[in-house]
Structure 1
Amino acid sequence: MRLLRLSLAPRIPPDGRNPSEKRKSSSGEGTIMVDLWKVKGLELFPLLEEAHWDFRISRALQVANALGLFTTLAERSLSARELSAELGTDEGYTERLLIVLCALGLLEKVEGGYRNTLLAETFLVRGAPLYQGDAIAHAANVWDFWHRLEAVVRTGRREASLAELPPPPPQAAHECFIRAMHNLSITGPAQMVAQTVDLSSARRLLDVGGGPGTYSIAFCQRYPHLECVVFDLPQTLEIAREVVAQFGLSHRIHLQPGDWNRDEFGEDFDAVLLSNVLHGPGSHASMKLTKAHRALKPGGWLLAHDFLLNAQKTGPLQAALFNLMVGAYSEPELRAELEAAGFVEVRLMAYGRRGNALMVGRKP
């Protein structure tokens, strides 16, 4: 299996078909309405993405302001440990917040710690002529209204509480999460992963924690000879079954129920994909990588796709925000995890627009 660094622009799959053509699947499951390789309007998505995700930036700034972080760093630098001691905060999460603030251009990392940039010194240090901290604090004070907005709109009462909203149906949160992963993956990440590596000689790919199966769909649409296995919990695979059927690929994408904490992944695979399941040191990456190594044929490739911080841990922004909420490795840290699990020829293949990256390694 060859691995190539390719353009990140959508390309016509190698089978030569017209990507926009509606066609019947060979399994008779109905018309495939979407080809992930030529989705019209994809270039508009960043506008919507910013609208529904930028609250994270606002909240990180509000919390840093409330802690007095920028004023504490005025005209000096401190390490995460020193700063957390002065602020009375948790060192680990303080460091995660500092990484976000670096990615926002409000702090810079220097030898021995962090310091304000000119932007922060000008607007965020209490007592500065152009200080904006009170305005940011006011925005935090009205945050509760925006949090309760659905209840306000439903009832017409400004003071309505979240308790007045209708309760969600059972399993609603889990299904929403899995379908959200599909929503986000079809807008670029799945295509980026599937076109960055060359699987023209592969026959079987294992998609560990594959959720709705979106990455397997992208691979199968690109490589008509490929079969994929999505490994995930039974309740997740019920959703994947629907999604895969909508794309007419149930005959090539197989569903394997299992729990990665307890079960082996299988064997004799040409490639194993671990997409968005290696979320930093708390994600049990060593265990997952070891099982993936056992599932591969000799010479098979591991594809590790996740949010990835740069080596300096100062960005990119989307990876820094995800690290604050869940966790993320830096590039050297993830490379070390792959090598410790026995993979060779480990290298970074591509960085995506959203702070996601693809790193690969080969089983000897």
Structure 2
Amino acid sequence: MRKTVKKKITRKKTEKSKATPSRKKSKETFDPMKVMSISSAYWQSKILHTAQRLNIFTRLKDRSASASELAAEIPADPRGLDILLIAATSMGLLDRKKEKYRNTPFAKTFLVSGSPRYQGGIVSMFDSWYGAWGDLDQAVRTGKPVVDKPHDQGPEALRSYIYGMHYRAIAQGELLARKIDFSGRRQLIDIAGGPGTFCMKFCERNPKLSATVFDLPQTLEVTREIVGSFGMLDRVTLKPGNYLEDSFGKGYDALLLSSMFNQESPQVIKEIFRKAYEALDPKGMILIQDQMLNRDKTGPMLSALIGVNQLVHTPGGAAYSEKELADWMKGVGFRKIKPVPLPSPSPFTVLVGEKPSRQE
């Protein structure tokens, strides 16, 4: 009896396992809206860009208003503006009640001028790139940028952009300061350090650390303003220079290269690593972070899209994989290269390495 029962159970399990694959195949489906969603993705970005151009979010600071009221202020066509505002509401940027609009908490935080975390400069930057992306096919055919002056910005646009980068970097800087061991380090230099946010966050967590922001003079004018507002000009110094042309100096025991590789060619990146190697003392630490591709170069999507943006704007930029950058670091002499895992939603890949001692 027992043997018979076991055989029946075995047969049932076998029959079930045989049937499973066919059921899985029959359930394979595709989203019929995916092609449209991808093709029309720019619709949302242009709604945000246009609302930013019209200063909608700052106009709605601490108040609500109807489309007609806002249209009279801009000025704009009431019907056209109402259509735009409805779309912005559907995207979670505005709330609409009784035909009046108000900023959502998200818009108040990031899109209202004067907010401590204002990112209007980032929105304007991407808006300014829209026309160049329209010529992407030309960039693909020729392998050359479709703009004469990549990322060219006036003083006000530059200031807004650097502040936007600062607000975006705060959370990442705090995360890195917790993850990276700077104990025993005394002198850090951040190459193309922009607003100096990472330097400040590292110094806040490591009282014995001093830092230097190396960047173009016009950028450092804004950097001085930001670092000064945190009362840290005594620990974060500013060093003008062009990383493509100038030496980084010497005598540092830590060096940061952040979000700068994808706009350069492999040859330029190798030269950056060489100059970084020269700037560091023996046993000095190099820290790099960027939005890198995976080893197979199949994603992630954001890194791949950044690569396309560099094709449009730069003569040699691209998205690079973690392995490529690690190999180029090894090529100039860095050792003990390893990744630093970061939790989601950070989009960055981080690598640390070390300049060997003279005995090695």
Distance in 2, matches of 1:322 and 1:120, equals 32
Kept in 1, the 8 Å contact 2:338–2:351? The answer is: yes
Indicate the residue corresponding to 2:93 in structure 1: none
Kept in 1, the 8 Å contact 2:195–2:222? The answer is: yes
Indicate the residue corresponding to 1:122 in structure 2: 30
Indicate the residue corresponding to 1:313 in structure 2: 297
Distance in 2, matches of 1:265 and 1:172, equals 28
Letter in 2 for 1:304: I
Distance in 2, matches of 1:204 and 1:139, equals 45
From the superposition, tell whether residues 242 and 142 of structure 1 become closer, same or farther in structure 2 (CA, over 3 Å).
Answer: closer
Kept in 2, the 8 Å contact 1:229–1:254? The answer is: yes
Aligned partner of residue 286 in structure 2, secondary structure: strand
Selected match of 2:284 from 282, 300, 304: 300
Indicate the residue corresponding to 2:180 in structure 1: 197
Distance in 2, matches of 1:141 and 1:217, equals 38
2:210 pairs with 1:227: yes
Distance in 2, matches of 1:189 and 1:142, equals 26
Shift of 1:315: 2.7
2:161 pairs with 1:241: no
Letter in 2 for 1:190: G
Distance in 2, matches of 1:119 and 1:255, equals 60
Letter in 1 for 2:30: T
Letter in 2 for 1:179: Y
From the superposition, tell whether residues 330 and 119 of structure 1 become closer, same or farther in structure 2 (CA, over 3 Å).
Answer: farther
Distance in 2, matches of 1:228 and 1:138, equals 45
Distance in 1, matches of 2:269 and 2:185, equals 25
Shift of 1:245: 1.0
Kept in 1, the 8 Å contact 2:259–2:291? The answer is: yes
From the superposition, tell whether residues 351 and 325 of structure 1 become closer, same or farther in structure 2 (CA, over 3 Å).
Answer: farther
Shift of 1:139: 7.0
User: Larger radius of gyration, structure 1 or 2?
Assistant: 2
Kept in 2, the 8 Å contact 1:316–1:355? The answer is: no
Selected match of 1:358 from 342, 350, 354: 350
Selected match of 1:172 from 144, 149, 156: 156
Shift of 1:177: 1.7
Shift of 1:250: 0.6
Distance in 2, matches of 1:316 and 1:120, equals 24
Aligned partner of residue 297 in structure 1, secondary structure: strand
Higher relative contact order (CA 8 A, sep 6+): 1
Residues 264-301 of structure 1 deviation map (CA, whole Å, 9 limit, x = unaligned): 00101001111111226527211111111000001101
Runs of 4+ in 1 over 3 A off after TM superposition: 118-121, 130-153
Letter in 2 for 1:297: D
Indicate the residue corresponding to 1:345 in structure 2: 336
Residues 146-184 of structure 1 deviation map (CA, whole Å, 9 limit, x = unaligned): 654445952222679x9xxxxxx9412211221111010
Residues 195-216 of structure 1 deviation map (CA, whole Å, 9 limit, x = unaligned): 2221110110011111010000
Letter in 1 for 2:243: W
Residues 334-362 of structure 1 deviation map (CA, whole Å, 9 limit, x = unaligned): 11111112101111112352320210111
Indicate the residue corresponding to 1:105 in structure 2: none
**Structure 2 stretches of 5 or more lacking a match?**
1-25, 55-69, 82-123, 125-152, 311-317
Distance in 2, matches of 1:143 and 1:207, equals 32
Distance in 1, matches of 2:288 and 2:38, equals 38
Indicate the residue corresponding to 2:323 in structure 1: 332
Distance in 2, matches of 1:339 and 1:159, equals 57
Distance in 1, matches of 2:224 and 2:340, equals 30
From the superposition, tell whether residues 258 and 319 of structure 1 become closer, same or farther in structure 2 (CA, over 3 Å).
Answer: same
Aligned partner of residue 341 in structure 2, secondary structure: strand
Indicate the residue corresponding to 1:27 in structure 2: none
Letter in 1 for 2:193: G
Distance in 2, matches of 1:139 and 1:316, equals 17
Shift of 1:218: 0.5
Distance in 2, matches of 1:288 and 1:120, equals 48
From the superposition, tell whether residues 143 and 211 of structure 1 become closer, same or farther in structure 2 (CA, over 3 Å).
Answer: closer
> What is the percentage of aligned positions where both structures have the same residue?
34
Richer in helix (by share): 2
Selected match of 1:182 from 141, 145, 166: 166
Kept in 2, the 8 Å contact 1:281–1:328? The answer is: no
Shift of 1:141: 7.4
Distance in 1, matches of 2:37 and 2:263, equals 34
Selected match of 2:257 from 274, 280, 284: 274
From the superposition, tell whether residues 318 and 253 of structure 1 become closer, same or farther in structure 2 (CA, over 3 Å).
Answer: same
2:73 pairs with 1:156: no
CA RMSD of aligned residues (A): 3.0
Distance in 2, matches of 1:137 and 1:249, equals 47
Alignment size in residue pairs: 233
Kept in 1, the 8 Å contact 2:306–2:319? The answer is: yes
Shift of 1:236: 0.6
Kept in 2, the 8 Å contact 1:307–1:319? The answer is: yes
Tell me the TM-score normalised to structure 2 length. Answer: 0.58
Shift of 1:193: 2.0
From the superposition, tell whether residues 280 and 255 of structure 1 become closer, same or farther in structure 2 (CA, over 3 Å).
Answer: closer
Distance in 2, matches of 1:180 and 1:269, equals 28
Residues 114-138 of structure 1 deviation map (CA, whole Å, 9 limit, x = unaligned): xxxx999723xxxxxx466457657
